[in-house]
Amino acid sequence: MALNLKQRVIEYLQSQPDTQHTARELAQWVFQQFPVECAEKKAASASYIQTDADLVQQLVAEISGSRPRWQQNHPKLKTTEGRPRRYYWSELNAEAEVVAAEGLEQASSQPSSVNPVLNEHGLYPLLKEFLGVEQGVNAMRIDEKRSSNRVGSGGNEWLHPDLVGLEDLTADWVRELRECVGILSERRARLWSFEVKLLINRSNARKSFFQAVSNSSWAHFGYLVAATVEGDGTLKELRMLAAAHGIGLIQLDTQNPTESQILIPARERAEIDWDMCNRLTEENRDFADFLGRVRRFHQTGELSVKEWEVAM
């Protein structure tokens, strides 16, 4: 009996809705569950599939190569962006997936494709870990609840980033050079800003991006961050927007934060928008604290480990 790879993969994903699997995980499952069909495929391959490992790799290649056609015929078969790409089956449309992921009142009772244990707040320490280990950026949380809201309800909705960070450009320099740069008042740090989402797909890509433009374009680097980026069209849209506005995209690996990926690098802003920083400082005590840390770094040339290790 010939192996019907599409049928086997889709049936498996349908049996575990909203559960994500890589192409290799799917290929290994097929190999384990259908040994007779896999043996026939191996025997019929002439010489190019000689070992079980070769066969699994061939299944991986066929799943990956067939994905666009499978998705065209089965719209509920969905994939994430980034590498490795993950496949899942969802009965939710794009808008409902975002609602479910964000845990809004009108969310469906079906589970989200995003890790259900995590909410958006749970992503902040994971992002902080990635930034510290992989990017050399010291990050802190900006809590919107600590804002004055003096402009009324909803007036600050797109004002605050979720996290901000300081990158010490002199971290690897000898003390004499750091002191010289301090005397000359040369730039010693870059400031980063981050807007975090659980899920970005076709329904909320533009809204999420322009929220990041609104609250993160004051910094040297502004990033939109997501635990899941779903759909080819989503990433294409974000690349076009990034080319025009300079905001980058980070896909956060919730299982291994240091393996997170910068899918779209942010374009560096030459100067800080100090007028916007002033607005943020007036409205939010956390941002005022952040600028205090930036000031102390420039005054002393040193970062206070205790300051930056505060839990999110």
Q: Domain of 85: which CATH number?
A: 1.10.10
> Does residue 109 form part of some domain?
no
Average the pLDDT over 200-215 and give the result: 93
pLDDT value at 214 more than 60: yes
Q: How many structural domains is the chain composed of? A: 2
Q: What is the percentage of the chain residues whose pLDDT exceeds 90?
A: 43
Is there a single domain that holds both residue 128 and residue 17? Answer: no
Which distant-in-sequence residues (6+ apart) come within 8 Å of 265 by Cβ? Answer: 248
What does residue 87 show for φ and ψ, rounded to 5 degrees? Answer: -105, 140
Q: Are strands 137-141 and 77-79 parallel, antiparallel or unpaired?
A: unpaired
Nearest alpha-carbon partner for 97 in 209, 206, 231 = 231
Checking if the pLDDT of 53 tops 50, the result is yes
pLDDT band at 102 (very low <50, low <70, confident <90, very high): low
* Residues 10 and 140 grouped into a single domain: no
200, 249: one domain = yes
pLDDT (average), residues 236-251: 95
Instruction: State which of 51, 70, 91 marks the end of a domain.
Output: 91
Structural domain boundaries enclosing 28: 5-91
223 and 288 assigned to the same domain: yes
- Verify that 87 and 125 share a domain, yes or no: no
Q: How confident is the model at residue 154 (pLDDT cuts 50, 70, 90)?
A: low
- 69 and 167, same domain (yes or no): no
Please report the pLDDT score of residue 247 as a whole number. Answer: 97
Lowest-pLDDT choice from 102-106, 116-120, 234-238: 102-106
The answer to whether the Cα torsion of 150, 153, 157, 163 is positive or negative is positive
Tell me which of 72, 91, 110 is where a domain ends: 91
Last residue in a domain, options 43, 76, 91: 91
The mean pLDDT value for 41-52 works out to: 81
The first and second tokens of residue 65, run together, are 């190569």
- Cα 11 from Cα 24, distance rounded (Å): 16
Residue 107 placed within a domain:
no
Q: How confident is the model at residue 149 (pLDDT cuts 50, 70, 90)?
A: low
